[in-house]
Amino acid sequence: RLNDPVYQQDQADPYVTKLYTDTAGSEAEWNALIHQAEAGDFLLFSSEGASAEYGFFNHSALILSVDGDTLHLLHARGSEYGVGADLDMDYLSWELLCTHNYYIDYGTVFLCTAGDLSADEKESMVQQAYEDYNGYQFGYGGRMGLQEVNCTELIDNAYTSAGVEMISSDYDTRLKEVLKGNTKNLVVIPDDLMFSDITEVKAVWKR
């Protein structure tokens, strides 16, 4: 794959592919990512030192709105906020990325989108997602009465409700099998969003 001409062209011209590698890890690179972000996009976070190492990405979040240099995010909650996303993680800026205990270990952030939704359709999607999932629980085997949904399922469900199927073609992957109902004990992880045929990477920030 490293010899693939498309990949080599991406490396040769990072500006065109919107991979801001010239100023890696800088505030300027983060601002470039923010400039690309829109409500309805989603973030994928990678941390080699995270406790949950299911794949390359450890966490994902749906962008509810962009306010200047701050992203308002929707995460899956934990029981009494002990597992999953904390309230402090609902807003992400350059300052919080550098100082917040949760984000400090993240070395790579991918800004992604999927489908061909209009701005109005995305706005409707995130409003519905906020109504459906704000405060819902992350994990499996949690307290009775709370819907269990992890960060990846939240994003996939939001796009599905807007008529965008993140998973296409045949049911030949683990995520497709989960969605089809053929498995009961496999967790849908953020990597599955990246592996979707329709996911588009808009920008990347690397510490």
Percent of the chain with pLDDT over 90: 30
Quick check: 62 pLDDT over 70?
yes
Query: 122 with 39: CB under 8 angstroms?
Result: yes
Q: Is 108 helix (H, G, I), strand (E, B) or coil?
A: strand
First and final C-alpha spacing in the chain: 24
If you average pLDDT over every residue of the chain, what do you get? 75
Per-residue confidence (pLDDT) for residue 19, from 0 to 100: 41
Closest listed residue to residue 54, CA positions, set 45, 63, 62: 45
CA distance 56 to 75: 18
pLDDT band at residue 18 under the 50/70/90 scheme: very low
> Using only C-alpha atoms, what is the Rg of the chain?
17
Output DSSP code: residue 170: S
Per-residue confidence (pLDDT) for residue 16, from 0 to 100: 42
pLDDT band at residue 61 under the 50/70/90 scheme: very high
Per-residue confidence (pLDDT) for residue 183, from 0 to 100: 53
Closest listed residue to residue 164, CA positions, set 156, 176, 172: 156
Query: For the residues 122-151, what does the mean pLDDT come to?
Result: 71
